Amino acid sequence: MTDDTPALRLEGIVKTFPGVRALDGVSFSVMPGEVHALMGENGAGKSTLMKVLGGIHQPDAGKIIVGERPVVMSGPLEAKAKGIVFIHQELSLAEELTVAENIYLGELPRKRFGLVDWDRLYARTDAILKKLKVSFDARTRVGDLSIANQQMVEIARALTVEAKAVIFDEPTASLTDAEKVVLFDVIADLQSAGVGIIYISHRMEEIFKITDRISVLRDGQYRGTLDTAETTEEEVTQLMIGRSLDLSRNVSHHTLGDVALEVRGLSCGPLFQEIDFEVRSGEVVGFYGLVGAGRTEIAETLFGLRDPSAGSILLDGAEVRINSPADAIALGISLVPEDRKGQGLVLGMNCRDNMTLPQVDDLTAGPFVAEGSEVAIFDQYRDKLDIRTPGWKQLVGNLSGGNQQKIVIGKWLSMHPRVLIVDEPTRGIDVGSKSEIHNLIRDLAAQGYAVIVISSEMPEVLHVSDRIVAMYSGRIMRTFTSDEVTEDNLIQAISGIRSTGRVA
């Protein structure tokens, strides 16, 4: 650390969205020449904080201080002008344009009359690319690069201006080990030039390798800052998860039936590889991992939305081919999708019609839809799942999140599936309804359904699962029974650390 004035300081940042306090008085500071890690679970508020810093959201309260002056960020260009550079996690690139144009997006060097100064643009870009030791040049079309190289283009943006602070948001998510070394060199260079670096990552090994201090967010609140040299992974993990949450594990075990679904060596290109697992009827298997670990993609493959590139799927011991959702439904596999409103429901239709959507072809009286049997089905599952709605005519768009989710679940139960896949069952659902959905999932398993629950919330997987599959970048790291799982070994497994011996 070169002097005592922080390069960037945040004081008491508050940001609320309707119904959610996304950031609740967050303060922390980055010294010049420091690599400061920002950690927290999915949804802890890291992204929102970065959006506030980048001027995409305005904070409701609090101050942003660059150097010694408080500033108001009105937009990304202003943030950049003040020396705050973002390296986004999701690639923020225009594929049809060249590498050089992407790196200088929004501030192409100009000659007179608004002409692009191509010579200067290419010269500067090539200089930057040389520092990054990449194999492509300034004139390459970004769409022709691999994802890893595209990430390097994104990183190159950090070197275009005299930055005071650079924010790296999960920069290594798609990099190979060799490219990581280059990235860490870049970070070291920036560091020695006195730039403050905020490094957002879930990967403990990286955090401990390159950062000086670690700040932790949880549920939108600042939880403290640790000196990397004086802390341990356990301490950080503990700070991230906290004790306030209900981390009780599932203890009830019902007698398990036969293997309902078995997956052997399932791969789908770069999305996931060599996936092996089985689910017995009466069992809840939780899939836990970071966003992008490949969990949803496995569900989509099982549901016929993607074609696997290798491997086999066995239902009740017999190998099946699933080419479309229609095949999956016919075989008794149902998917309650991640995005309830976008993928699970037709919001403008009423409760009954949503519930009978997959089977309305069969519910006919002559050429017409048999309204009576539709209503009968709706009534049956409304009572069974305790869906609170004034009547079947209510549009599902007007129901609460919890009741909407029950409609989706009811829709699939009415198809009498063998295997029920539930992706992020309680996303955007309030706390009370959450436990109701959790109990429902347990009940369904008790009735003999084979259930797969995909979740990014640790309390949720711990709570509902008989076994937990931990995934990390497209691979299964380890499978835990609910007796052997702990928060620590689970977090380590999904961060790619194989320290605790046994591997699934």
* Nearer residue to another protein within complex by CB, 139 or 416: 139
Q: Please give the radius of gyration of the chain, using alpha carbons only, rounded to the nearest integer.
A: 25
Shortest Cβ 4–another protein spacing (Å): 31
* Nearer residue to another protein within complex by CB, 95 or 227: 95
Shortest Cβ 429–another protein spacing (Å): 25
* Nearer residue to another protein within complex by CB, 144 or 443: 144
Structure tokens, 262: 């078995």
Q: Which residues of 254-288 are buried (b: 16+ CB within 10 A; e: fewer)?
A: eebeebbbbbeebbbeebbbebebbbbbbbbbbbb
Q: Any residues with CB less than 8 A from the CB of 501 and at least 6 apart, and which?
A: none
Shortest Cβ 308–another protein spacing (Å): 9
Shortest Cβ 300–another protein spacing (Å): 6
Residues in touch with another protein (CB under 8 A):
54, 56, 75-78, 80, 86, 88, 92-97, 101-102, 105-108, 110, 113-116, 143-144, 268-271, 300, 304-307, 309, 324
* Nearer residue to another protein within complex by CB, 174 or 426: 174
User: Residue 106 phi/psi, 5° resolution?
Assistant: 85, -15
Strands 419-423 and 475-481: unpaired
* Nearer residue to another protein within complex by CB, 80 or 467: 80
Cβ distance 7 to 30 under 8 Å?
yes
Q: How far is CA 338 from CA 301, 341, 408, 472, 495, in A?
A: 14, 9, 11, 19, 22
* Nearer residue to another protein within complex by CB, 108 or 314: 108
Cβ distance 185 to 210 under 8 Å?
no
Shortest Cβ 77–another protein spacing (Å): 2
Q: Rounded distance, CA 422 to CA 335, Å?
A: 6
* Nearer residue to another protein within complex by CB, 72 or 77: 77
User: Residue 77 phi/psi, 5° resolution?
Assistant: -70, -35
Shortest Cβ 109–another protein spacing (Å): 9
* Nearer residue to another protein within complex by CB, 164 or 382: 164
Q: Any residues with CB less than 8 A from the CB of 376 and at least 6 apart, and which?
A: none
Cβ distance 103 to 140 under 8 Å?
no
Shortest Cβ 8–another protein spacing (Å): 19
Q: Label each residue of 384-425 as H, E or C.
A: HHCCCCCCCCCEHHHCCHHHHHHHHHHHHHCCCCCEEEEECC
Shortest Cβ 460–another protein spacing (Å): 25
Structure tokens, 122: 């290419």
Shortest Cβ 125–another protein spacing (Å): 14
Which SS3 state, helix, strand or coil, does residue 193 take? coil
* Nearer residue to another protein within complex by CB, 260 or 345: 345
